[in-house]
Structure 1
Amino acid sequence: MPPSLRVSQRRLRPGSRVAIVSPSFGAPGLFPHVHDLAMQRLQSELQLIPVEYSTTRQVGATPRERAADLNAAFSDASIEAIMATIGGDDQITVLPFLDSDMIAKNPKPFFGYSDNTNLLNYLWNLGISSYHGGSTMAHVARPGGLHPLSTSSLCAALFSGGDFELYPVSEFSEDEQNWNDAAWSDPNGPPPSPLQTSAGWHWHQPDRVITGPSWGGNLEILDWNLAANRWIRNNPADYSGCVLLLETSEEMPSAAYVFRTLRNAGERGLLAQFPAVLIARPKASNIEIQPTPEQRMQYRQEQREAILKAFAYYNPDTMIVFDVDFGHTDPQWILPYGGMITVNGPQRQIIAHFG
């Protein structure tokens, strides 16, 4: 069974101090105007006090230096939550320098996704639940202003708690904005990238109701954790009954890569543990590659088929929901990581339980 997960039950309030950290890429150092926009919105629209640490704006900070910021944020009693600025690709090198005993005694809500899957998974193994999503430069500094969908789930996680029902979006965007664009000088940021029509969620075997703690995150990062044998439990049964969250990044891994990663997890006995799986809408473009609409549709379809193929072999009874908006596309639901999620197949409902 999963560890007994906990997080500080105190809810934030106007004026709460929130740590702003860069455990991966120090993007605020290269794009201070985008970072500053996020900090302004945290104060003006969410009424939080952002507290930056020494490496928040530092490009090239060492893993030990970035870990020191995380240790400081968890140990500071005046800090009520911790938010990552952005992801990256080397957070796996940071976590060995964390003070696990101290962090376990001082659980706090942590918000992040993508490369921050490393820290979400690390905290999960310490028995601390966190939140998938909410990185400040991606969510709070969103072009055109905060999205009401993303913000409503972020506020539920931060302030109100309770049961929060997700819903399929009618439109989404995925084309990245160039942070060097002069339009970012506008205090509201540049306009959002072009919107695309969403076909909603796609349900596979929606024949049951599953409630369980969530686990997972970015598929590429979980692959690295498996390869390095970091923070993946040796007993597959430790994940029994969990709702698996999976999303892929702007690097757009191929369907073959997705299948092989899941096959490896299946061979390890992991896939058999999950009665329900939520798959984020795959991001099908990036700053360098803008495929045609037909190519994007094909990319998503091939990824879906790869996932279905893996689960058909390793856990054919799994209920799977595709194209849930919690990954690298916009808007982005903030979801409990280690907290409870209900997947109600017959009613076609997904409910995040924020405690």
Structure 2
Amino acid sequence: MRIPAKLTLGDEIRVIAPSRSAQVLKVEMVEQTKIILERLGFRVSFGAHIFECDLQHSSSIMHRVVDIHEAFRDPQVKAILTVIGGYNCNEVLPYLDYQMIAENPKILCGFSDITALSTAITTKCDFITYSGPHFSSFRMVQAQEYQLSYFQKCLMEKNPFSLVASSIWSDDAWYIDQENRHFEAASWKVYSEGAVSGQLYGGNLCTLNLLQGTAYMPDLSNCILFLEDDELVNPAIFARDLTSLLQATTTIKGLAIGRFQRASAMTEEQLHFILDKHPLLKAIPVLYDVDFGHTQPIFTFPIGGNVHINTKELRIQVTIF
């Protein structure tokens, strides 16, 4: 698995909208976020069609494809950030020029619905992509230090690093109200003990499941899965979706589950009930309430990279990224 060149200060980051349009953020919010990234030392450019907005808050498939292609084709662009998630990123997958993208490997980072694009590119083009902050995520003020630290470790540095739990977490709508945030003490939890190394795949569970039966789905045999879902899921839906994914592979070596949003009504009792249904999950390391997904803050991890999970130390070592 190839590793795109690391991001350095002064590099150009291209912002694209392969799912929801940047129009949902409003122009002034986009400009504020651009200034934040510039202050961090980057140059920021935008896809030509990111503000187009149709009945489903997106642009046309072809215009999204054009922006993706231009971002990978432009030699000045060193990394690509997605504006935000959404629902329809998988629409673009049949129309991408994977040969061109494979010839121009570069950082692609986003989460949620972007799981479809990242996973497809890693599968078809044989280079690592990243699940981490959207462009819009950088406008968050409180808890940004944890998020930014791991973004930099994963995308700018070359040495292996350890992922450890944030001391706090929040499920606030910070993008509406930055001032009145509510934080709780955070910790990762262990469902089953163990230590294991392997190749990492994952991201948003319901989005990853959309790729089953397509040419964009990777072989998950003997991988380590990182899975999360958003506020639209509930325990019954998560149970169904997890079962579907586990049935799509012969075995996995480890599992990390991102922290659930409050609206999902997922309790520890419900989660253990779901995990107890699968004998495999009692025999491999399984962590939950891990800092990725739709609560804040989140770390960045490499799709297609290699990690080592150690539940005793509550630590995930990222070794190939």
The TM-score, its normalising length taken from structure 1, stands at: 0.83
1:248 and 2:238 equivalent?
no
Report whether the alignment pairs 1:11 with 2:12.
no
Shift of 1:258: 1.1
| Gap runs ≥5 in structure 2 | none
1:335 positional shift: 1.0
Q: 2: distance between equivalents of 1:55 and 1:7? A: 28
* Residues 143, 297 of structure 2: 8 Å contact kept: no
CA RMSD in angstroms comes to 2.0
1:186 alignment counterpart: none
Equivalence for 2:220:
239
Deviation sequence 1:76-133 (CA, Å, 0-9, x none): 1111111101001001111111101111111111100000000111012121211111
Which residue type is aligned with residue 13 of structure 2? V
Shift in alpha-carbon separation, 1:161–1:283, aligned structure 2, 3 A: farther
Matched, 1:37 2:29: no
Displacement of 1:168 = 1.8
Match of 2:77 in 1: 79
- Equivalence map 1:198-217=2 (5 Å): 198=186, 200-207=187-194, 209-217=195-203
Match of 2:101, SS state, is: helix
Distance 1:30 1:15 in 2: 25
Deviation at 1:178? 5.4
Find 2:258's aligned residue among 280, 283, 293.
280
* CA spacing shift, 1:78–1:333, aligned 2, 3 Å: same
Spell out, residue by residue over 1:53-91, the C-alpha distance to the aligned partner (whole angstroms, 9 max, x if none).
112222231011101100111111111111101001001
Residue 105 (structure 1) aligns with = 103
SS of match in other structure, 1:220: helix
Does the 8 Å CA contact 2:191/2:272 hold for their aligned counterparts? no
C-alpha spacing 1:122/1:310, structure 2 compared with 1 (3 Å): farther
Distance 2:299 2:25 in 1: 27
Q: Distance in 2 between matches of 1:16 and 1:146?
A: 25
- Say whether residues 1:53 and 2:47 are aligned partners: yes
Task: Report the Cα distance in structure 1 between the residues aligned to 2:240 and 2:15, rounded to whole angstroms.
Answer: 35
Q: Do 1:24 and 1:90's aligned partners in 2 also have CA atoms closer than 8 Å?
A: yes
Residues of 2 paired with 1:121 and 1:150: CA distance? 21
Alpha-carbon distance in structure 1 between the residues aligned to 2:205 and 2:283: 21
Gaps of 5+ in 1: 184-189, 286-295
* TM-score, structure 2 as length reference: 0.91
Contact kept? 2:193, 2:284, Cα under 8 Å: no
Q: Report the equivalent of 1:218.
A: 204
Q: Give the Å deviation of 1:246.
A: 0.2
What secondary structure does 2:161 align onto? strand
1:308 is paired with a residue of what secondary structure?
helix
Separation of aligned partners in 1, 2:243 and 2:235: 12
Instruction: Label 1:306 to 1:75 Cα distance change in 2 as closer, same or farther (>3 A).
Output: farther
Quickly say closer, same or farther: Cα 1:78–1:239, change in 2 above 3 A.
Answer: same
Aligned length: 316
Q: CA separation in 2, counterparts of 1:95 and 1:37?
A: 31
Deviations 1:237-288 (A, max 9, x none): x32221101001132x1111111112222333x2x42111110011113xxx
Question: Structure 1 residue aligned with 2:116, among 115, 118, 121?
Answer: 118
Measured at CA, do residues 301 and 96 of structure 1 come closer, stay the same or move farther in structure 2, by a change above 3 Å? same
SS in 2 for 1:128: coil
Deviation at 1:223, TM superposition (A): 2.5
Do the aligned residues in 1 keep the contact of 2:164 with 2:314 (CA within 8 Å)? no
Secondary structure at the aligned position of 1:15 is classed as coil
Structure 1 Cα separation of the partners of residues 152 and 189 of structure 2: 27
Aligned to 1:132: 131
CA distance in 2, matches of 1:344, 1:178: 34
CA distance in 1, matches of 2:255, 2:275: 11
Contact 1:173 1:193 in 2 (8 A): yes
Q: Is residue 109–residue 131 contact of structure 1 (8 Å, CA) maintained in 2?
A: yes
2:234 partner amino acid? S
Of 276, 279, 282 in structure 2, the residue corresponding to residue 309 of structure 1 is 276
Give the Cα separation in 1 of the matches to 2:49 and 2:273.
Answer: 39
> Aligned partners of 2:243 and 2:152: how far apart in 1?
37
AA in 2 matched with 1:159:
M
Hey, what's the Cα distance between the residues in 2 that align with 1:247 and 1:163? 24
Which amino acid is the alignment partner of residue 2 of structure 2?
A: R
The answer as to whether partners of 1:67 and 1:98 remain within 8 angstroms in 2 is: yes
In the alignment, the residues of structure 2 paired with residue 30 and residue 155 of structure 1 have an alpha-carbon distance, to the nearest angstrom, of 24
Q: 1:266 to 1:34 in 2, by over 3 A?
A: same
